[in-house]
Amino acid sequence: MLYGILAAIAALLLAAALAALLRVPARRLGVVDRRRQRVVPLCGGVAVVLTTCLVVTAWEWTGAAPLGDGIRELLVAGAAVAALGLVADVRRVKARFLVCGTAVAAACVVPYGELGLGGGVLAVGWIVFVALGFRALDHADALAGTVGVVTAFGVGVVAAAEVMDGPAVLLSVLAAALTGFLMHNWPPARVGLGSCGSLFTGFLLAAVATFARTGYGLVASAEVLFALTAVAAADVLLVLLSRRLAGRPPLRGGPDHLAHRLRRLGLTPPGVTVVIGAAAFSAVAVGVLVHVGWGTRTGTLWVAGVTLAVVLGLLRVPVYGLRRPGGYAHRRAAGGVPGTLRTADVPGSRRTADRRGPRRQPGYPTRPFGQPASVQIGAPGRGGSG
C-alpha cells in the first residue's frame, strides 16, 4: 500500500514537471494545436507516457511492485501506440494509419487462450474503439484527462478485485500522471494531451478492462465494459450519427463533439468538464458495482439507455454552418479585435462611402436622386465668374 502511494506521488510530480518543461520545445518544433484562437503545445501526452513508463519500470526494477506476466508486453504495446500518436501530432496522418497501428498493438496483447479467436477479434476491435474514443475526447481543455483519471481509478478497482496487482499499479500510476498533467490542462489550457497521450490512455484502460473481464461471458462483459467507457463511446456515437445525418464525411472534423454542443447550450469550458466528468464518474461507478457483485445488470442497461437518450438529445443542437457567438468574425465586424483594421477606417473604401454618404467629386455639387442636373457656370471652386 505504501509503495503504491509513493509511486502515485512520484508520478504526479514528475508528470507536472515534464509537462511544464516540454512546453517551450513543443512550441519551437511546431507541435501545437489551435483551440479558440489559442495555441496549445501538445507536450502533455509525452509527459504522461514518459512518467508512466519510467515510474512503473523503476518500481518493478527495485522489486517493490512486480508487474507480473503480460504487463511488460502491455506497456511496450502502449508505448508503441503513443509513438504512433506522436507522429500524428507532429504531422498530419490519415485515420486508417492510426486504426491499423492500434489494432496491431492490441492484437499482440489480447489473451486469445482465454477469449478464443472470435472473442480475441472482438477484444481487439473494442480496444481500438476506446483508444480512438479517447483521442476524440481531446477536443476540449481538461476533458480527456478528467475522464481518463476517473476511468483509470474505476478500472483499477476492477483489476484489484480480480487480484491483478500489476494492472492495478499500472493504472494508479497512469491516473496520478494524468492528474499532474491536468495541473496545466485546466481551462484555459497551457498544454494539451494530443494523440500521443490520448491513444496511450485509451489503449491501456481498454486493455486492462478487457483482461479483468475475461471469463465472465460475452454479453455480461460487454455491458460492464460499456459502462466503464460510456463517455468515450457516447462521443464517438454522437459524432458519427451527426455527420451521417448531415451528409458529411465521417472522418471530417467539425465542432460536433460533446463539449461543443454543451457549449452551445450555454455552459462554460470548466462547466463542460465538470458535467462530463460527473457523467463519467456515474457510469464508471455503475460498472464497478456490477463487476464486484454489488449491483445488478439493470444498472448497466440504465447506463446504455441514458447514453442513448443523451446522444439523441444532443443531436438536436445545431452545430454546422454556425459561427460561434463572440468569435473572431463577430468581434472583427464590431471593431473589437485589437490589431485589426476595419474596412470603414480605410479612406475611399466602399464601406466608408456607405457609412458617410455618396462619394463627392471635387467641385461638383451633389443632387437628390431623380432631380435633373443643372449646369452651373462658374461654380465655386472652379475659377469661373458669376
**DSSP of 38-91, one letter per residue?**
EEEE--HHHHHHHHHHHHHHHHHHTTSS---TTHHHHHHHHHHHHHHHHHHHHS
Q: How many residues does the chain have?
A: 386
The stretch 270-294 carries a mean pLDDT of 96
Q: Which of 123, 137, 101 lies closest to 238 in space, CA to CA? A: 137
Specify the DSSP class assigned to residue 360.
-
Least confident range from 5-14, 96-105, 349-358, 364-373: namely: 349-358
Place of cell 499500472: 170
To the nearest 10 degrees (0 to 180), the angle between helices 269-292 and 297-314 is 160
The stretch 279-283 carries a mean pLDDT of 97
pLDDT at 69 over 90: no
What's the per-residue H, E or C state across 122-133?
A: HHHHHHHHHHHH
pLDDT at 59 over 70: yes
User: What pLDDT is stored for residue 61 in this prediction?
Assistant: 80
Q: Domain for residue 284, yes or no?
A: yes
pLDDT at 325 over 80: no
pLDDT band, residue 24 (cuts 50/70/90): very high
Mean pLDDT of the chain: 83
Q: Are 56 and 170 in contact (CB under 8 A)?
A: yes
Query: What cell does 5 get?
Result: 502511494
Least confident range from 29-38, 62-71, 110-119, 136-145: namely: 62-71
Q: Which residues pair with residue 40 across a beta bridge?
A: 33
User: What pLDDT is stored for residue 192 in this prediction?
Assistant: 93
Domain that holds residue 222: 2-325
pLDDT band, residue 177 (cuts 50/70/90): very high
Whole-angstrom distance, CA of residue 46 vs CA of residue 223: 32
Q: Are 23 and 191 in contact (CB under 8 A)?
A: yes
pLDDT band, residue 296 (cuts 50/70/90): confident
What's the total number of domains in the chain?
Answer: 1
Q: Domain for residue 350, yes or no?
A: no
Q: Domain for residue 319, yes or no?
A: yes
pLDDT at 155 over 60: yes
User: What pLDDT is stored for residue 332 in this prediction?
Assistant: 41
Specify the DSSP class assigned to residue 32.
E
Q: Domain for residue 11, yes or no?
A: yes
Q: Domain for residue 171, yes or no?
A: yes
Q: Domain for residue 96, yes or no?
A: yes
pLDDT at 63 over 50: yes
Q: Domain for residue 380, yes or no?
A: no
Backbone phi, psi, residue 39, to 5°: -100, 120
Assign 376 to helix, strand or coil.
coil
Distances (CA, A) of 371 to 26, 367, 368: 67, 7, 6
User: What pLDDT is stored for residue 142 in this prediction?
Assistant: 93
Q: Are 305 and 311 in contact (CB under 8 A)?
A: no
pLDDT at 374 over 50: no
Q: Is the dihedral of CA 253, 133, 258, 16 positive or negative?
A: negative
Q: Are 188 and 196 in contact (CB under 8 A)?
A: no
Q: Which residue has the higher pLDDT, 357 or 63?
A: 63
Distances (CA, A) of 31 to 22, 25, 98, 192, 313: 11, 9, 18, 10, 36
Q: Domain for residue 248, yes or no?
A: yes
pLDDT cut 90: percent of the chain above it: 62
